[in-house]
Amino acid sequence: MNNTAEELPPLSVQDFRIYNRGAEKMDYFHGFLRRSWNILWDAATSGQRPSNMTVRQFIAEGLQFADHLETHHGIEETYIFPYLAKKMPEFRTGRGRHAAELLRQHREIHHGLEELREYLARCSQGEEDLDLRVLRGKLEGWKEVLWTHLDQEVKTLGAENMRRYWTKEEMMRIPM
């Protein structure tokens, strides 16, 4: 298939499911990331960690969030994005501004993620006391790009976009 501006006929319910499969799976995983982010963000902005979590559990939640996001992006960049890049410019690699926007977002997210992880690791090891104001500072700089990315990635994998590039048969072979 090709990427043209021509109007495509409506999808049947079954075809929509085939073409939207990747978006649904991605949104499912992104839901876990959003939940963990919200736990951290809500505490950082309210100045109170959740009453049902000890400091140790809260720090572990943050470190687990960092691990999950890093693993998720690693799988995407190693297996999913290269496959999709065969037909979709949204997933093509390149240097600097020539990289696809979703990949540039990954790099920006990882810069903030590393600062968060390093801070939480120091807190976990007792080198620093957890300060929710400091945590907020570690989250603020990449909040917008993270949330934009989570939404944009799902939209890009949505049925209306995917059918511009892939046949139904090809969709069944995409490694997601």
- pLDDT, one tens digit per residue, over 93-150 is 766 555 688 989 999 999 999 999 999 999 999 999 999 999 999 999 999 999 999 9
Mean pLDDT of the chain, nearest integer: 93
> What percent of the chain shows pLDDT beyond 70?
93
What is the dihedral angle through the alpha carbons of 59, 65, 71, 74, rounded to the nearest 10 degrees?
-110
Q: By three-state DSSP, how is residue 5 classified?
A: coil
pLDDT of residue 3: 45
Q: How confident is the model at residue 84 (pLDDT cuts 50, 70, 90)?
A: very high
Q: Is residue 46 pLDDT above 60, yes or no?
A: yes
Rounded to whole angstroms, the Cα distance separating 114 from 154 reads 24
Kindly give, in sequence order, each residue whose CB lies less than 8 Å from that of residue 148, ignoring residues fewer than 6 positions away.
105
Rounded to whole angstroms, the Cα distance separating 26 from 154 reads 6
Q: What type of residue is 117?
A: R
Helix axis angle for 132-156 and 101-124, nearest 10°, is 150
pLDDT of residue 5: 47
pTM of the entire predicted model: 0.89
Q: How confident is the model at residue 38 (pLDDT cuts 50, 70, 90)?
A: very high
Q: By three-state DSSP, how is residue 109 classified?
A: helix
Rounded to whole angstroms, the Cα distance separating 166 from 176 reads 14
Supply the Cα-derived Rg of the chain in whole angstroms: 19
